[in-house]
Amino acid sequence: MTATLLSSRRRRILAATAIALLLLSLALAWSWSRWPPLYLESSRGSELPTVAGFVTVDTLIETIDWLLDKPGGYLSNDILPVSVWLDNMPRFELGVLVQARDLARTLRNDYGRARARPAENAELAIAESALNVPYDSWMLPSTESRLREAREALIAYRATLVDLGERDAVFAADADNLREWLAVVERRLDELSLRLAASVSRTVSDLALDGEADSGASIASAATPTTPWLEIDDVFFEARGSAWALLQFLAAADTDFEPDLAARNAFPVLRKIRLELEGALQPLRSPMILNGGGYGLTANHSLVLASYLSRAHAGVVELKGLLGPL
């Protein structure tokens, strides 16, 4: 009788422990999967140095800070519960990281070089190299350690930008360099729109063949296969992360490239791009990504997001045109 009671008590304790662990795991998963605000709140306060390039570099640093310091930290390379079960936030992180890599590359190759002094900046070279670590590396060097290395190099570069006695740091804030970055943004948005549109049953290559065969346009870029069903949400959240990071960087360009943008009356176009990206980041009201086909009963979230990104892409093309020679 006593043994039976003890056994029953153990089962109750084990069941209660399992339920408590499950609830704790669900709470952590919810907390770690929360999306960032539309725009990051900078830790630097309201006083901004007026030196060109400060806001762009500072925004890139803040974005890396968010990857490292958000609830749960950087999740893409975690191999332990609870984060190993999460899927959406790691793909969001990947989208953010890809945009950060693109901006760091432009900083190294374009923004950080003056025409009179074409040598690259050492800190920017370190940052760009560090950001190109595999996004899911958990062995040494881990992705987090490389992100911290990039952050420290960018902080050092930012410090030299505001030091009036330091002439090694350069930020060439001119229209030509902004066009170079926008060209990269244009390709990224085009790629993401194609991958999102490939969620429908008819492939993007079929659509391109129908619409472009007579024009002689290249169809190599349209050879995108239909996205496998289990990967649809991966593409969706990667695109959302990319749109979020791009929104931060465009807001920074609004400040650092103000003279060139104002001279070409480009602010309305830039605002239009930012509005489309804000639309792409509207709260998701569904517990899962739905990709209904045709005119069925369910929504197709991927096509909705692709529509926003396609319009943002068109805005970037227009902005590039405005930034040509006066």
Answer yes or no: do 152 and 192 share one domain: no
Report which of residues 34 and 255 the model is more confident about.
255
**Of 172, 192, 222, which closes a domain?**
172
Answer yes or no: do 40 and 125 share one domain: yes
CA-only gyration radius of the chain, Å: 23
Q: Report how far apart, in Å, the C-alpha atoms of 205 and of each of 189, 230, 233 are.
A: 17, 21, 21
Q: What pLDDT was estimated at residue 220?
A: 42
- Range of weakest confidence among 109-113, 243-247, 318-322: 109-113
Q: What pTM was computed for the model?
A: 0.87
Is 118 within the bounds of a domain?
Answer: yes
Answer yes or no: do 264 and 213 share one domain: yes
Question: Would you call 152 exposed, middle or buried from its count of C-beta atoms within 10 A (0-12, 13-18, 19+)?
Answer: middle
The tens digit of pLDDT for each residue in 175-213 reads 999 999 999 999 999 999 999 988 775 544 444 445 444
Answer yes or no: do 201 and 314 share one domain: yes
Answer yes or no: do 326 and 240 share one domain: yes
Answer yes or no: do 231 and 177 share one domain: yes
Are 306 and 193 in contact by the 8 Å Cβ rule? The answer is: yes
Answer yes or no: do 314 and 184 share one domain: yes
- Range of weakest confidence among 27-31, 97-101, 119-123, 276-280: 27-31
Answer yes or no: do 179 and 155 share one domain: no
Range of the domain at 216: 173-326
Which residues is 156 bridged to in the sheet?
none
Is 243 within the bounds of a domain?
Answer: yes
Which residues is 107 bridged to in the sheet?
none
Answer yes or no: do 187 and 321 share one domain: yes
Report the distance separating Cα 303 and Cα 210, nearest Å: 19
Answer yes or no: do 179 and 311 share one domain: yes
Is 6 within the bounds of a domain?
Answer: no
Count of domains forming the chain: 2
- Closest by CA position to 75, among listed 114, 47, 116, 34: 34
pLDDT band at 221 (very low <50, low <70, confident <90, very high): very low
Is 76 within the bounds of a domain?
Answer: yes
Answer yes or no: do 166 and 310 share one domain: no
